[in-house]
Amino acid sequence: MKTYPEIPGGVRHGVPVYIFDKLDGSNVRVEWTPKRGFWKFGRRNGLIDDTNPWLTEVPALFMEKYADDLHRIFKKERYDKATAYMEFWGPSSFAGNHEDETHDVTLFDVSVHRKGFLEPRQFLRLFGELDHAALLHHGNFTHDIKREVEQGILEGMTFEGVVAKGAWDRKAGRPLMFKWKSLAWIAKLHDLCGEDEEMFQRLL
C-alpha cells in the first residue's frame, strides 16, 4: 500500500492553494481494486493490526460510511487501483492517541495507481459531495491566514491546524502540500512529550 507522504511545515506564499482543516487523529488508508473492492486496510506504516487496538474500528467505520460511494466513483473513473486516505479521530484524540469514545473516519486524499495523488481541485470535483476534511479557503496563504491559524481563529478550523494543497509539484512528484499548526496545539504537544525531543519532532 502506498504510504502517505510526510507533509512539510513552512508556508508557501504567493501561490494559490486549497486550505483544508487538519483533523487530529491517526492517518489510515484503504486500498481498492475493481475485482476485490476495498480489501486492504492500513495504518500510516503497515497494516491495521493489534499494534493500535483503536484502529481495528476502521474497517467497519469505513465500510458503512464510504465504501458504496467510493466504489461507484472509482469504477466510473475506470481506476485499476486506488488508495483512500482518512483520519481516524474522536473528540478527545490528540497526536495519535485516542480515548474510549465514539470515533469517526474522514476522507482527506486519494491516490490513483499510475497517476499519483489527486490535485485538490480534482479531489473536490470527484468527492466533494462526500464527507471530507473541510475546505476553509481557496487562494493565497496570506500572512493574515497564517496568524489566524497560529491563534486558532481561522473560521472552520479545529484544534490542530491546516493543510494546504496546490497544483502538481514536479520536484516532489505530487501536488504541492504544506501544513501549519496552532500554537496551542504545539504547546500541548510539548507538555505531552516533555524532554523527549525526538518524540516531539516525530509527532509534530
Which structural domain range is residue 46 located in?
16-203
- The secondary element (H helix, E strand) that includes residue 145 is helix 143-151
Cell of 154: 481561522
| 7 found inside a domain | no
> Per the structure, how many domains does the chain have?
1
Which DSSP letter does residue 7 get?
A: P
Which DSSP letter does residue 6 get?
A: P
Decide: helix, strand or coil at residue 93.
coil
Q: The pTM is what?
A: 0.96
| 87 found inside a domain | yes
| 3 found inside a domain | no
| 5 found inside a domain | no
Q: Could you read off the pLDDT of 140-177 as tens digits, one per residue?
A: 999 999 999 999 999 999 999 999 999 999 999 999 99
Residue 57 is predicted with a pLDDT of 97
| 54 found inside a domain | yes
| 10 found inside a domain | no
53-67: b (≥16 Cβ within 10 Å) or e: ebbebbbebbeebbb
Q: Could you read off the pLDDT of 48-72 as tens digits, one per residue?
A: 988 889 999 999 999 999 999 999 9
| 146 found inside a domain | yes
| 1 found inside a domain | no
Count CB neighbours of 164 within 10 A: 26
Residue 50 is predicted with a pLDDT of 82
Q: Which amino acid is at 61?
A: L
CATH of the domain at 184: 3.30.470.30
